[in-house]
Amino acid sequence: MDFKKVTAPLTTTTQDFTQLDKETGNIYESVRIIAKRANKISQDMKQELNRKLEEFAYYTDNLEEVFENREQIEISKFYERLPKPALIALQEFLDTKLYHRKGAVESPQNEN
């Protein structure tokens, strides 16, 4: 995911819940879908950040020496300024960019 092209707001805004349950018909189902996507975005962001910071890693045997790399600081600041994963997932949901489907509900079978 290209986090530079995210159009989600940086701050939390009040949402009209009729917009949230329009697609699923159930506000709780919509929130569940958004939460699952937010967890996936959070994992992706963390992996990408760790991968980028690993490029600048400097390993030493001495724990007292701490090296601050300007590139690492800039990368970290970029990720801190991004919208939170829940806001990104909410924006994707409102823009109908998320694919979701209802799972099959199994009915209890009579054991007669």
Tens digit of each residue's pLDDT (9 = 90 or more) over 8-52: 878 888 888 888 888 888 889 999 999 999 999 999 999 999 888
Alpha helices, H only, 13-64: 17-20, 27-54
Stated pTM of the model: 0.74
Q: How far apart are CA 25 and CA 19, in angstroms?
A: 10
Residue 5 is classified by DSSP as: G
